[in-house]
Structure 1
Amino acid sequence: MTQSAKDRVYAAAEQISAERRPTVSTVREAAKVSNADATRFLKEWNEEKQAAGGRVAATPPALLEQAARLAGAIWAEASTAAAERHAAIEATWTQERREKDEEIRELGADLDKATAAAEKTATEHAEALARIKAQRDAFERQLATVNRQLEEAREAERENALRAAEATRKLATAEARAETLEQVHTALLKRVAPEAKNTDTQ
């Protein structure tokens, strides 16, 4: 069934009023009616809305009192529920805060332990380094002593070699002299021997 121009204007006005105040142009475009129909029926729609508002304003006092009591009860219930919800949230927050504080304390204690362990490790490391350095210094001193002794031994060896060479030279000289003396002695003996024989013969 085709809607009348009035129905279309009323429907368009209701739809438009959900977002903004309907005007003749917006209603005319939405309802697809003439400008005259849009003007007339929109005016009627506005008057009916105003009349309906007046009827609401003229609500009987008893009904208003009941509505007020109902609103008060709803408000009280809502307040109670909100208070309970707030208490529950606060209890949860308090528990979480307590747990977080405990975690922070535990983390602090762990950090203190780790720091103490690190300091102890650093101290032990420093002591170990000091011991190693002392041992290295001792080894270096020992090595210096050994090198000095080795150099002294080499120097003594060189001196002994020189002395041995000198002794060998002197021995060779002495042997040569002894051999020469022996030859001279032998020659003398040969000269003396014939003279001795001649003297015995006479």
Structure 2
Amino acid sequence: MEASIKDRVYAAAESISAERNPTVASVRSAAGVSNADATRYLKEWREEKQNAGSTIAATPPAFAEQALRLAGGLWAEASRMAAESHAALEREWREQTAHQEKEIAELGDDLDTSTAQHDAELRARDERIAGLEKAATGSAADAAEAVAALATARAEHEQALSALRDELSEARGANTALTTALEALIARIPDAPEAPNTKS
């Protein structure tokens, strides 16, 4: 009789649990048993369910060995990809740095050339004005025109030199920003992960 009561309580609990959480009252009503029997066997049913849910089967050795081999293969592939990515980024960084340094050097050469030309033109105009001043036959209008031309030329050259200096400064700033960004990107690449322990 006790086994029959237990079976009825278990069957009622299983049926009720499909829709909601079984209670002593609902199991007692469905199984047609006393409150004490419903309480006792519902508790046992819940304990068995909990134990069954927490039981984990041992991993078969063959499966564990296969999993370790798979993990080792994944680690090797991840290491290879990380190394290739790091090398590619470093190569790109070196190329970009070399390109920026070349541009800065070219801009510096342009600035030196422009400055030399500017100085040569100023000296030529100074010599011309000096010659005009020495020549007593020169008119005041010609002298004023020469002075104005010299002032205009100086202003134009100063403007050109200022623009060239700004361009050089921007190029240096861009090179610094690029170098910082690439170094930060390379620093974010994780080192190759350690090989997993394949010993059983």
TM-score range, shorter chain: 0.3 to 0.5
- Could you say which structure has the greater relative contact order, defined with CA pairs below 8 angstroms and 6 or more residues apart? 2
If each structure's helix is expressed as a fraction of its own residues, which one has the higher value?
1
* TM-score for the superposition, normalised by structure 2: 0.40
Larger radius of gyration: 1
* TM-score for the superposition, normalised by structure 1: 0.40
